[in-house]
């Protein structure tokens, strides 16, 4: 695998946290940061897929049964906020 060099800036306390975490896992800082970035990107993709699935399920339900009642919509919003799936776009559209 070819590696590319990046330059990042972090506050001193973040630098120490990164170095300690990398050392604890027995990895070079660059390898630890690369793995952390991949994990973050995968989590963001999973959340985006979850938000898309929720929108699709809601649209499917409403196409078949009509608009979701307000009480049910509020419960769904609360669940989605707790699950980290609610984004501002969906919240303002509901």
Give pLDDT tens digits for 7-16: 999 999 999 9
Is 86:58 a contact under the CB 8 Å cutoff? no
**Which range has the worst mean pLDDT, 37-46, 51-60, 77-86?**
77-86
3-state secondary structure (DSSP) of residue 29: helix
Q: What is the mean pLDDT of the chain?
A: 87
- Is pLDDT at 89 greater than 70 in this prediction? no
Question: In the chain, helix, strand, coil percent, each to 5?
Answer: 75, 0, 25
The pTM for the full model equals 0.68
User: What's the mean pLDDT in 61-80?
Assistant: 89
Residue 65 has pLDDT above 90, yes or no: yes
- Let me know: does 45 contact 55? Beta carbons within 8 Å: no
């Amino acid at each position: 695998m070819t590696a590319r060099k990046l330059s990042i800036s972090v506050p001193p306390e973040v630098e120490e946290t990164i170095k300690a975490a990398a050392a604890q896992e027995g990895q070079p800082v660059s390898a630890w940061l690369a793995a952390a970035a991949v994990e973050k990107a995968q989590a963001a993709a999973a959340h985006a897929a979850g938000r898309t699935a929720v929108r699709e399920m809601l649209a499917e339900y409403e196409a078949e049964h009509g608009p979701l009642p307000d009480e049910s919509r509020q419960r769904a919003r609360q669940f989605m906020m707790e699950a980290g799936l609610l984004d501002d776009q969906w919240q303002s559209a509901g």
